[in-house]
Structures are given as C-alpha cells and as structure tokens.
Chains A and B, each alone.
Chain A
C-alpha cells in the first residue's frame, strides 16, 4: 500500500510508541481496513449464545456492524449488518431468533447466511417501475465473514488469507483457552464499560503484567497476584496474543520485603475484609493456576481470576472512545454453591470491580495526559526489547508483542 502514514516510527523498534497512534483519526480509519479487516480473527460471540437454528446476535468487527446467525443447517454465518441497497442496518436488535432478516427501510430481505433473497417490488407494480432485468440479487449480498469456532468461541474474519484459527492462535494460546473452556459455559451477566480512551490503551493494559500489582491494591493486599508469586508471561509467535498467569504460593516473606523496600503504595498493611469469604473459592483447575489473563489480537480477552470467568471484547467507538463488553461466565454444570462463588467473586471484575475498576479509568488518564505530547513517545522497555515469553512478569514483552503485530499489519 502506498498511503503515507501520519505516524513516524523507528523501524524495528518496539520499545517506543508514538503517542499520536492513540490520537489520530486517519490511524483509526486504517485500523479498520488493515487490522480488523486484515488477516485477523475477531471474536463475535459464544456458540452458546446462538444455540438454535435462527438464533442471532449483532456485534462489531472493529466499527463494522455484524450479524452472526445460526442457519437451519446448524452452521454459523456472519455478514456485515449493512443493507446492499442504501446501507441501512439490516438487523436492529442485539439478540433474537429469525427466519430471515428484512431491512426496515425498503424491505429488502436476507437469509440467515446474509444472502440477498428478496427486493420489494423487484418486478415493479402493474408493469411499471421495478429493478432493471440486469439486476442480479446474487451479486448484491452484504460482505460475508469467514467463521471459525474454537472451544465454543465464535470468531469471524473478513480476510481470505487468514490462517486457520489454530495456527492464528498458536499451540500455547490454544492450550490456555482449552484449559478454561474445556466444558460448556453459560452466560451469567453482560455489561458494557464505556472507556474514555483509544482501544489500544485498553488492550495494552490487558497485556501489561507489570502494572497489575502496582495499580490494583486489592490484588496485592490479598495475595491474588504478586509479581513475586510464581507465574509467567507467554507471548505468541506473532506477538499479538498473550497469556499472563500466576499461582499463589505459601506467603513469601522475602518477596514481601522487596515490595516494602520499593515503598510502593500498593502494599498497605492492615487492610482486611469484613467478609473474607469473598476470596474463598474452590479448586477447579488441577494446575493450581489462580489467575490467567489471555488476550487474542485484536480485541479478545479471556480471564480466569480464581473461579471468576469472563470474556471481554474490546471495540473501538472513535479515536478516544472504546466499548469494553463484559460477558460473565459460569459452567453449565455448576452446582448452586459453585455458581454463588462465581457471582461473589465477580465483585472483582467489571466496571465496579475491586480489581478492574482502575483499568476503566487509567486509559483515560493517559489519553488526557498526552493531549499535548506532540511527537513524543511512550517508553515500553521493562524487560528490555524482547517480545518473547518470559518467566518474569516484570516485563512489557507482551505489550511490545502487540506492537510488533500491529505494525506489521499497519505497515508502519
């Protein structure tokens, strides 16, 4: 592509990120074409959310509105939610069941696969009007997406060249998704958090294992996640996906001392819960991992915090606006007691989450902070310049990995 980019970047260097990449309208436009409609898989919904023939949901790939539906053949299809006639939304509902879809504007009709099937008054009325005989409905369907499912997750791609979902994710990410989604899940709640920042600031935050124990006091105080606990960061070959995980060890006096010596705000003594059962979960993962945050480029997050499971979908709404769609999960075979634990631990996550509420605000702090940053750049050098997996979580390797793939797709 020969378009000139508004962003100047030192080639091959991932330790600096020009702030303009979070501020520029042209970048957002190009992201739609090159990232979201490029060789990537975008999370659409759960298979469990469209269980029956005729079930559908509407969602987005980047800013493109999408219908994802299950046809009578049991297969899942997705297409751009844009009428081939004048461009109106074909489907206005968030969720439902349908035999077909009809645009409300001029009643053009589409089947569950998104193929144009009916044009109102196509043959005119009383021999007058109508479409010319040369008009071919087959040539006028909305853009259709390729579909891939993995562990009950439905992904879509506008791109014909994209790898299979297994190759796209890579074996390590696949295994870490399978670890959580190894049996049928059930949605137990949905919330949207409107973030006052560019989508990349949130997605970087997800990948940033360095901040977790520093910004989020709730984690550190209750030893849900200390950098000194055992854990690691896995970065996929492409750089775009990551897993950060940890397991709680017996209290480590030495590690605690390291935090105190740093004089960190996030280590306050004496903070106790009136109801300590908030963190009293049950062991359901044999590997002992109590926290796993997994991201799939460009906007999917799967989290396990103890027994609290959720999916987050990151969608751009504008240069400085992002929607974070939370889907809280339980397993279909949960006992009432297990379900109760998940509901209780869900206090940790979401817009009001003891742990994640800060993540909703911190992107806005950056967005406002860089208002006059000009051509200046962010420093992303913790752990050097590596973009590979690391036994230490005091690293920004997975953030640099994100930029590695992002820049390859954006050609900058």
Chain B
C-alpha cells in the first residue's frame, strides 16, 4: 500500500467513523475495530502520567458492543447527539502490518432542547491494522485534553 493511498484510506475511515456516531448508527460502531482491539477514553493528564484507567476501557470488540447495548437498553440519560470534527491525521509510525496515527478532534454536544456546547477536544491515538484492504482499528486511545467531563459520557467518542 503506498503512502498516499493509505492516507486517503485513513481519512475516509475517520470520516466514516464520526459519521457513524453522529448519525446515531451506534450498532455499527464496533465494526470499525478488530475483534481483539483496545479502546480507551482517558485524559491528557492520565495519559501523560501513565495511569491506565479509562472513562471507557475496552480490551475487545464485544465490550464495545456491550457499551452500545447498555446505552440502548440500560442506561438513563437525556437524549443528545454529538457533532465530531476531526483534523488532519499525523502518521507517527508505519510498520509492515500497522500504522500509528494521531488525529485531533472536537466534539460538540447537542442536547434534546437544542442547547449546544463544546463537549470535548482531544486526540485519537490510533493503531490501524493495514494488513488487509479494509482498515480496522487495532487500538484507539481517545485522549481528552481536559480532565473535566460535563455531567456524563454516554455516547462514545
């Protein structure tokens, strides 16, 4: 895979990922990951200090499916949606089977009553599996810039 086409694939992947979440097609969200994957939402402070706990901490895709089924069937929260904006991806490492990428993001939260606020900014620290034609995330560490989360985090980032 040459570099240009890989960059394009990553850009298309990122676009599809945020579209999936923002369009509330959350049942498809786990499909962006490999069955054996890592997904963590943490803060810049914890990330810097090497503290392993996450707001969300998943060590396989089944746990991501559980996130969504809990969201749909168990948890109580007010109806809201996100609007993700992602910035340019920066490739930090390329290996034969994997590529590591950092991509900044901003997320606005739109409450059911229309109240819209800047909910979260941060960086996706990703490792993509590039061994097949279809990109999949082997790992996505969502590093939120701030340690403060307003009210709750129901929908994933």
Contacts and interface: CB of A to CB of B under 8 A. Distances in A.
B43 A191 contact: yes
A352 B151 contact: no
B74 A217 contact: yes
A366 B59 CA distance: 36
B3 to A, nearest CB: 35
Interface string B55-67: 1111110110110
A193 B54 contact: no
Interface in A21-77: none
Contacts of A350: 55
A289 interface: no
B131 interface: no
A35 B91 CA distance: 53
A276 B43 CA distance: 27
A219 to B, nearest CB: 9
A136 interface: no
A157 B84 CA distance: 45
Size bin of chain B's contact surface: 35 or more
A364 B115 CA distance: 15
Nearest to A354: B70
Interface string B130-157: 0000000000000000011111111000
A196 B109 CA distance: 15
Contact of B46 (A190, A194, A358): A190
Max chain A Cβ within 10 angstroms of own Cβ: one of B63, B69, B151:
B151
B100 interface: no
Contacts of B153: 351-352, 357
A254 interface: no
Given A189-B53, A194-B150, A351-B153, A218 B70 contact: yes
A221 interface: yes
Max chain B Cβ within 10 angstroms of own Cβ: one of A340, A352, A357:
A352
B151 A221 contact: no
Contact of A194 (B54, B74, B76, B149): B149
B70 to A, nearest CB: 5
Contacts of B69: 271, 273-274
A215 interface: yes
Given A218-B70, A361-B78, A190 B63 contact: no
B92 interface: no
Given A188-B51, A347-B57, A271 B73 contact: yes
A278 interface: yes
27 contacts: A187-B51, A188-B51, A190-B147, A215-B76, A217-B73, A218-B70, A218-B74, A271-B69, A274-B66, A275-B63, A339-B52, A343-B54, A346-B57, A347-B56, A347-B57, A347-B58, A351-B152, A351-B153, A352-B55, A352-B56, A352-B149, A352-B154, A354-B74, A358-B76, A358-B152, A361-B76, A361-B77
Given A347-B58, A357-B153, 18 more contacts: A188-B51, A189-B52, A194-B148, A217-B73, A218-B70, A218-B75, A271-B69, A271-B73, A274-B63, A274-B69, A275-B66, A339-B52, A340-B59, A346-B53, A352-B152, A354-B74, A357-B154, A361-B78
Top 6 A-B pairs, shortest CB-CB distance: A189-B53, A275-B62, A274-B62, A352-B153, A360-B152, A351-B149
